[in-house]
């Protein structure tokens, strides 16, 4: 009977996830595809044709945008993977998983837009780095005429992506390395005369990479289709393809929606092709690696390469920390002339008037984030509880559905989804935005919670059942208290993902919902760094507060329970 109940619960949750997560993506892709081939009756386009594609190819700067997208996407992913691998190879024996996760949390928690704005404040011609080096090292008394932000080669964008992607790769690699006998392999390799780097390349990395392949594809998809960071750091004329199509979608000329839809469909094909090319490159690397291993050569010393990768990871983390600090400094600055290293005068005026905008954006961000996180967490717990009650293991095909929103570019289906929501009468409101955020929050919550939940000691649950506790009581009295820290951590991750959402808020809110992220990205192109700093600091502070609560609440509750137990007669 319980097995049947569990199966029904699991099927119900799977149906809700499919209807609420998979079907909207498919509906959005369908509507985008229709517009891409000339079918959008709302603007008078009622004939199936290839005209949108011809218009897309004829738009100024299209080929440059395409090249920039490929260059920044592949370069950032490859560099991040290489730096993270080299850092793990150099530092693994000195790294503790728990301590490393806490150290990486600030970089993972910081929203992309906030980090990009802070990096722009740091590396701009009038940024903090130039101020610290001027005039004593550079001779500059005025900001130099250098394109260090929004440069035509996308170097600033690649740097910003690396600051976010390297910590993410480090975290997933550390988790994967716990499943590999690293020390035994290193000892055996050293006994055979191999250096640390060669043992990693020939023995350890081939075992780790299959465990992190899916996160690599997620990072590649994101890097090829990122919008908020590309608006802030990337080239502007022409921009990357994702930014260009976003501009076309919101242009005053509604006929640009058709080529924009064609570009969105092309973005999907681009990501799919990139993943296929990556898989092809894996095959080539496997063949070359086997040939290299069979030769048995010890090769050259890998020490310099490991040192370079380790230094690169440290520099990226220092840049990320300095970027967040630059946000805070600018938010309390009143006057900061170049080339002073620190502000000449300080002020809280930018913080003193929440009624001017940031108060409303803060309330909207909190409401949407909390609602989305609660919804996603409830679905994730129900999914996992259904598995437990049915006595079933994880289904790979069902988990594939969870990763779907992370692999399909947002710009490919969000416009079509906004059209679908408009037809149902929910577009442009908070409900539509919460639904859009949940498409991306639920996968992260599910990924974060699934392994700790499945690793729960079932003897405690069986003991509760033997004492007569029903399924609901076992859930609320045994499982959730024991899983409090993982549940709160998953909630913090989900909240951070919601706070960072830019395109879902922009498209599904129809420009009517102002969150800290949408406002920060808009203000990033303005001239008042103080106001921009306030929005970006608030945007970064919310995920930090969520992570802090996830870390402290379990300890406080445990201390309270111990205190009550000690006070009991």
* pLDDT tens per residue, range 106-165: 788 889 999 999 999 999 999 899 999 988 888 888 888 888 899 999 999 999 999 999
Average pLDDT over residues 521-543: 89
Eight-class DSSP state of 184: H
Please provide the distance, in angstroms rounded to a whole number, between the alpha carbons at the two ends of the chain.
Answer: 42
The model's pLDDT over 451-477, given as tens digits with 9 standing for 90+, comes to 888 777 777 777 877 777 777 787 777
Nearest CA to 225 out of 271, 265, 190, 273 is that of 271
The span from the CA of 121 to the CA of 125, in Å, is 9
The model's pLDDT over 154-163, given as tens digits with 9 standing for 90+, comes to 999 999 999 9
463 lies in some domain = yes
Helices (H), 339-357: none
239 lies in some domain = yes
Residues with Cβ within 8 Å of residue 425, at least 6 apart in sequence: none
558 lies in some domain = no
Q: For residue 108, is it left (φ>0), alpha (ψ between -120 and 50) or beta?
A: alpha
125 lies in some domain = yes
Tokens of 198: 């060669």
- 288 versus 401: the higher-pLDDT residue is 288
448 lies in some domain = yes
Nearest CA to 537 out of 201, 180, 115 is that of 115
Average pLDDT over residues 398-411: 81
Q: The CATH number of the domain where 14 resides is what?
A: 1.10.3720.10
Please check whether residues 148 and 267 belong to one and the same domain.
Answer: yes
Please check whether residues 89 and 232 belong to one and the same domain.
Answer: yes
Residues with Cβ within 8 Å of residue 300, at least 6 apart in sequence: none
The span from the CA of 510 to the CA of 529, in Å, is 26
Per-residue pLDDT at 1 = 45
Query: How far does Cα 382 stand from its chain's mean position?
Result: 24
Average pLDDT over residues 493-504: 94
Per-residue pLDDT at 551 = 84
Please check whether residues 66 and 15 belong to one and the same domain.
Answer: no
Q: Which of 46-55, 168-177, 180-189, 499-508 has the lowest mean pLDDT?
A: 180-189
9 lies in some domain = yes
Please check whether residues 209 and 91 belong to one and the same domain.
Answer: yes
* Residues 507, 512, 514: CA angle, nearest 5 degrees: 90
Please check whether residues 29 and 79 belong to one and the same domain.
Answer: no
Average pLDDT over residues 227-231: 94
Residues with Cβ within 8 Å of residue 93, at least 6 apart in sequence: 183, 186
The span from the CA of 271 to the CA of 287, in Å, is 25
Q: Are 95 and 299 in contact (CB under 8 A)?
A: no
Please check whether residues 297 and 168 belong to one and the same domain.
Answer: yes
Residue 390, number of CB atoms within 10 A of its CB: 18
Which of 513, 537, 553 finishes a domain? 513
Please check whether residues 29 and 92 belong to one and the same domain.
Answer: no
Please check whether residues 114 and 195 belong to one and the same domain.
Answer: yes
Tokens of 474: 């076992």
Per-residue pLDDT at 438 = 93
**Which residue is it, tokens 């717990």?**
381
Which of 513, 542, 562 finishes a domain? 513
The span from the CA of 306 to the CA of 289, in Å, is 19
Q: Are 380 and 442 in contact (CB under 8 A)?
A: yes
Asked whether residue 566 carries a pLDDT value surpassing 60, the answer given is no
Torsion from C-alpha of 433, 439, 442, 447, nearest 10 degrees: -150
Please check whether residues 320 and 441 belong to one and the same domain.
Answer: no
Which of 308, 330, 352 finishes a domain? 330
Please check whether residues 273 and 233 belong to one and the same domain.
Answer: yes
Grouping H, G, I as helix, E, B as strand and the rest as coil, residue 395 is coil
* Residues 367, 376, 422: CA angle, nearest 5 degrees: 65
341 lies in some domain = no
Binning pLDDT at 50, 70 and 90, where does residue 524 land? confident
pLDDT above 70 covers a percentage of the chain that reads 91
Q: Are 303 and 89 in contact (CB under 8 A)?
A: no
How many domains are contained in the chain?
A: 2
Q: Are 412 and 268 in contact (CB under 8 A)?
A: yes
Q: Are 157 and 70 in contact (CB under 8 A)?
A: no
Binning pLDDT at 50, 70 and 90, where does residue 445 land? very high
The span from the CA of 198 to the CA of 210, in Å, is 19
Please check whether residues 20 and 165 belong to one and the same domain.
Answer: no
Grouping H, G, I as helix, E, B as strand and the rest as coil, residue 5 is helix
Per-residue pLDDT at 158 = 96
Q: Are 402 and 262 in contact (CB under 8 A)?
A: no
CA-to-CA separations, 226 to 112, 216, 223, 523, in angstroms, rounded: 10, 15, 6, 18
Residues with Cβ within 8 Å of residue 227, at least 6 apart in sequence: 242, 243, 246, 410, 411, 502, 503
Domain coverage including residue 31: 1-37+373-513
Please check whether residues 312 and 396 belong to one and the same domain.
Answer: no
Q: Taking all residues of the chain, what is their mean pLDDT, rounded to a whole number?
A: 85
269 lies in some domain = yes
The span from the CA of 6 to the CA of 380, in Å, is 14
């Amino acid at each position: 009977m319980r097995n049947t109940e569990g199966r029904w619960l699991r099927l119900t949750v799977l149906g809700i996830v499919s209807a609420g997560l998979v079907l909207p993506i498919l509906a959005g892709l369908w509507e985008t595809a229709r517009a891409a081939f000339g079918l959008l009756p709302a603007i008078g386009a009622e004939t199936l044709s290839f005209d949108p594609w011809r218009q897309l190819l004829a738009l100024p700067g299209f080929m440059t945008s395409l090249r920039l997208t490929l260059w920044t996407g592949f370069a950032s992913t490859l560099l991040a993977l290489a730096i993270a691998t080299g850092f793990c190879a150099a530092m693994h024996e000195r790294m503790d998983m728990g301590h490393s996760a806490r150290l990486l949390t600030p970089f993972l928690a910081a929203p992309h837009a906030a980090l990009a704005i802070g990096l722009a404040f740091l590396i701009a011609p009038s940024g903090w780095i130039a101020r610290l080096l001027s005039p004593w090292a550079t001779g500059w008394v005025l900001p130099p005429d250098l394109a260090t932000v929004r440069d035509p080669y996308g170097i600033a964008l690649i740097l910003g992506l690396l600051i976010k992607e390297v910590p993410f790769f480090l975290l997933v690699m550390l988790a994967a390395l716990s499943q590999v006998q690293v020390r035994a392999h290193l000892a055996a390799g050293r006994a055979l005369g191999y250096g640390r780097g060669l043992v990693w390349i020939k023995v350890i990395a081939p075992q780790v990479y299959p465990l992190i392949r899916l996160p690599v594809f997620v990072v590649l998809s994101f890097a090829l289709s990122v919008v908020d960071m590309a608006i802030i750091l990337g080239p502007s004329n022409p921009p990357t393809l994702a930014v260009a199509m976003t501009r076309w979608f919101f242009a005053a000329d509604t006929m640009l929606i058709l080529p924009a839809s064609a570009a969105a469909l092309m973005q999907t094909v681009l990501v799919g092709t990139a993943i296929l090319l990556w898989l092809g490159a894996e095959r080539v690397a496997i063949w070359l690696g086997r040939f290299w291993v069979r030769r048995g050569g010890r090769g050259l010393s890998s020490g310099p390469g490991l040192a370079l990768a380790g230094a690169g990871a440290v520099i990226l983390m220092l840049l990320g920390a300095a970027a967040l600090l630059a946000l805070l400094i600018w938010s309390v600055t009143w006057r900061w002339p170049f080339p002073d290293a620190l502000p000449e005068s300080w002020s809280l005026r930018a913080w003193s008037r929440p009624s001017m905008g940031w108060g409303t954006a803060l309330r909207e961000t909190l409401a949407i984030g909390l609602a989305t996180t609660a919804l996603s967490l409830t679905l994730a717990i129900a999914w996992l509880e259904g598995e437990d009650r049915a006595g079933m293991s994880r289904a790979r095909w069902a988990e594939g559905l969870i990763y779907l929103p992370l692999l399909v570019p947002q710009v490919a289906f969000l416009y079509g989804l906004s059209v679908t929501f408009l037809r149902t009468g929910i577009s442009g409101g908070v409900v539509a935005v919460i639904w859009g955020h949940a498409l991306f929050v639920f996968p992260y919550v599910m990924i974060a919670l699934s392994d700790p939940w499945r690793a729960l000691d079932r003897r405690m649950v069986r003991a509760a059942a033997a004492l007569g506790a029903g399924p609901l009581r076992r859930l609320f009295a045994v499982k959730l208290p024991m899983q409090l820290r993982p549940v709160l951590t998953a909630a913090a991750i989900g909240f951070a993902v919601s706070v960072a959402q830019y395109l879902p808020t922009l498209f599904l809110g129809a420009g009517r919902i102002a969150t800290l992220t949408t406002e920060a990205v808009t203000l990033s192109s303005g001239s008042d760094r103080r106001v921009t700093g306030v929005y970006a600091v608030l945007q970064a502070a919310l995920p930090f507060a969520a992570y802090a609560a996830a870390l402290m609440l379990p300890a406080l509750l445990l201390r309270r329970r111990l205190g009550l137990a000690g006070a009991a007669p």
